[in-house]
Amino acid sequence: MSTKLQPGKLSGELKAEGLRFAVVVSRFNSFITERLLAGALDALERAGATDKQVRVLHVPGAFELPLAAKKLAQAGQTDAVIAIGCVLRGETSHYDYVCSETARGLQLAQMDTGVPVIFCVLTCDTLEQAIDRAGLKGGNKGFEAGLAAIEMAHLSHKLAGKQSGQRGAAKKARR
């Protein structure tokens, strides 16, 4: 089957200029989360971000990420939030509650505020799986999250009909 349709395409650039980011990082499993943070900052820096454009906030564990992410998004100084955590499966069902509530809370944070919240929470059965995704075989999921934050910040401004980096853009979107 062939088609002559060539619909217009919309996507976000990977340039950090004029954007502001907040990164909220869980201290739990910091051996992993600090590596993910380094990956995210590397992506932002390579895309042109400077210190003044990025804020980093630490919380105790993944379960605390959603509230911090929502408050950062609501504060109106942020074009995208990156939430970084690492949940490792233990012997009880605790893991399942932390994973599902963290994912649900982060999704709610972006849906409630209109500010992109990037999900950079590893949910792994073993420490080895986490290490692989924090700079080894599986790349660095923090770096991917940094790129996703830039793209989604631009895209959400475009969808709202605003120039990227327009001051106060995030604030207008909050509830």
The Cα 65–Cα 83 span in angstroms is 6
Residue with tokens 């993910």: 36
23 touches 39 (CB < 8 A): no
Choices 50-58, 84-92, 131-139, 140-148 (CB under 6 A): range interacting with ligand INI: 84-92
By CB under 6 A, residue 85 contacts ligand INI: yes
127 token code pair: 């420490």
SS3 content of the chain, % helix, strand, coil (to 5): 45, 20, 35
Q: Is 50 helix (H, G, I), strand (E, B) or coil?
A: coil
88 counts as binding ligand INI under rule CB under 6 A:
yes
For ligand INI, which stretch binds (CB under 6 A), given 3-11, 62-70, 132-140, 159-167?
Answer: 62-70
Which position among 41, 87, 147, 152 is part of the footprint of ligand INI (CB under 6 A)?
87
By CB under 6 A, what part of segment 94-113 binds ligand INI? 94-95, 98
* Comparison of 94 and 104: residue with beta carbon closer to ligand INI: 94
Is 90 near ligand INI (CB under 6 A)?
yes
SS3 54: strand
Q: List the catalytic residues.
A: 94
Contact status: 63 vs ligand INI (CB under 6 A): yes
Q: How far is the CB of 99 from ligand INI (least distance, A)?
A: 9
Burial of 132 (0-12, 13-18, 19+ CB in 10 A): middle
- Write out the residues near ligand INI by the rule CB under 6 A: 26, 28-29, 60-64, 85-88, 90, 94-95, 98
